[in-house]
Amino acid sequence: MSSILLILQFALAVVLTITVLLQKSSSIGLGAYSGSNESVFGAKGPAGFLTKLTFTLALAFVINTLVLGYIYNKENKGSIVDSINTQNIPAPKIPTSTQTPKAPVAPAAPLEKK
């Protein structure tokens, strides 16, 4: 199931890119943001066929992305750490000395000569 959705994701990405590139530019570059009379979708609103197709494809792309994320998260719930075999790992050896370790001695201050 996830492989079919992944192939569909690639196809949606290619078709969505093509439909965006086929659309006519309705702005004059960055002039649309600096006081141009055009609105985001033009004066008539998003009425063109390519605009509706782009919206539909983008919605399908987002929904497919969410479904793929949910499926991959559900399939790969375990961690790689869960698969480590800990039975063959030797335990570290702890020193069994009964003597208490000595603290290092602070150096003595030099004697002053007068």
Q: Which residue ranges make up each domain of the chain? A: 1-27+46-77
The Cα–Cα gap between 44 and 12 comes to 27
| pLDDT for the residue 50 | 84
**What pLDDT band is residue 37 in, cutting at 50, 70 and 90?**
very low
* DSSP-assigned letters across all residues of 82-114: GG---TTSPPPPPP---SPPPPPPPPPPPPP--
75-86 pLDDT tens trace: 777 777 777 777
- Global pTM reads 0.53
